[in-house]
Amino acid sequence: MDISGYIEHTFLKPDASRQQIEQICAEAIKYKFAGVCIPPYFVRFARQLLNNTHVRLVTVVGFPLGYTIVNAKVEETRKALDEGVDEIDMVMNIAALKAGDIKPFVEDIESVATLCRLKAKTIKVILETNLLSDDEIKKACEISATIGVDYVKTCTGFFGGVQLAHVELMKSVLPEKVKIKASGGIRDRQFALALIEAGAKRLGTSSGVDLILQK
């Protein structure tokens, strides 16, 4: 199976350089990956590299902890959209969900999703599944689906990698129109294939080239 179209070539290290971003973009073009996921600081630079290519430009908002105030997330999103990003991966407010503060939790996602819709851009919500109970994962998926996000994403990778059981759980809750992005610790081709089989439509990984070259 050709998995190149599932891969978001990801590079979110705090010491990222322009040379590394340039390499990530070049590899995504060469291997026909779905997209690149890079820090907001490099969006304008990467946009120039990816113009007139098939590769989607993705960046993160509220990353990696998610408890940034809503206005800050909105401003991050607005700037990224203005600089030419195609997709936003926002970290939901994990603390609000776990505290049962549903109104601010919903407002957080809705505010960013509304901006993305106005620009006809893709919005993904990062759950951080390894910090959540199964019931919290279900609740976050249900709320995200009701708001109308495009994808729900498993993890940032900062608190452990994606678990197959979490993707299966998300798939069981989400309507067909809301896709799943699996991310965090995807370094093995067989694991990548298992995630796709479980329902993942995107794979966020810094090991995209290795996955393609593995037999």
pLDDT of 215 reads: 67
Taking the CA atoms of 198, 184, 3 and 147 in sequence, report the sign of the dihedral they define: positive
Q: Which two tokens stand for residue 16?
A: 């990222």
Catalytic residue among 73, 121, 124, 153: 153
State the pLDDT at residue 192. Answer: 98
pLDDT of res. 41: 98
In words, the CATH class of domain 4-213 is alpha beta
Catalytic residue among 73, 86, 89, 121: 89
Q: Is the pTM of this model over 0.85?
A: yes
Which one is catalytic: 73, 121, 179, 181? Answer: 181
**pLDDT averaged over 10-residue windows placed end to end, the chain, 215 residues:** 98 98 99 99 99 98 98 99 99 98 98 98 99 99 99 97 98 98 97 99 98 88
124 carries an active-site annotation? no
Known catalytic residue at 150: no
Instruction: Report d(CA 154, CA 163) in Å as an integer.
Output: 8
User: Does residue 89 have an active-site annotation?
Assistant: yes
What local confidence, expressed as pLDDT, does residue 199 receive?
99
Query: Which residue matches tokens 């179209």?
Result: 5
**Residue 91: phi, psi to the nearest 5?**
-85, 125
* Alpha carbon distance 136, 194 (integer Å): 24
